[in-house]
Amino acid sequence: MLYYKVKLYLEANSKTWDAEKNNIVLQNDGSGDYIHTWNVSGLAKPSDEQLATYNSSATTDENNHQIRKTRKSAYGDIGDQLDEIYKNIDTWKARIKKIKDDNPKE
């Protein structure tokens, strides 16, 4: 969850995780996740209170990430999907719709 909070904090301050990921180390020593290293130029390390403001959005982002992984696995190989579309697009549409219905994003 900390990753998603930090990502949102960066984005709220005109930074991106991709640009800063080499400047941040998140760690868990067994008692919970924390920011081990913060070397983001021009942006102070967020306090626990600042990160807590992102709890709801971070939970949604984390849940949607898991849903996307579940969907991707259920969709199967793209080659198999293309073959299914070629044989019967309506069957493919129904299968994809069921996967999405069974795994809705927040």
Q: What is the pLDDT of residues 54-100, one digit of tens each?
A: 999 999 999 999 999 999 999 999 999 999 999 999 999 999 999 99
Residue at 58 is within a domain: no
Determine the Cα–Cα distance for residues 13 and 10; give it in Å rounded to an integer. Answer: 5
Q: Identify residue 25 by its one-letter amino acid code.
A: V
Q: What share of the chain is helix, strand, coil (3-state, %, to 5)?
A: 65, 10, 25
pLDDT band at 106 (very low <50, low <70, confident <90, very high): confident
User: How many structural domains compose the chain?
Assistant: 2
**Average pLDDT estimate for 18-31:** 95
Please tell me whether residues 37 and 77 are part of one structural domain: no
**Average pLDDT estimate for 37-45:** 97
pLDDT band at 38 (very low <50, low <70, confident <90, very high): very high
Residue at 6 is within a domain: yes
Determine the Cα–Cα distance for residues 24 and 54; give it in Å rounded to an integer. Answer: 18
Please tell me whether residues 92 and 44 are part of one structural domain: no
Rounded alpha-carbon distances, angstroms, from residue 7 to 54, 55, 70, 102: 10, 12, 22, 28
Domain that holds residue 42: 1-53
pTM, full prediction: 0.75
Percent of the chain with pLDDT over 90: 98
Please tell me whether residues 49 and 68 are part of one structural domain: no
- Give the pair of three-digit tokens for residue 4: 């998603």
Angle (nearest 5°) at CA 63 between 61 and 69: 105
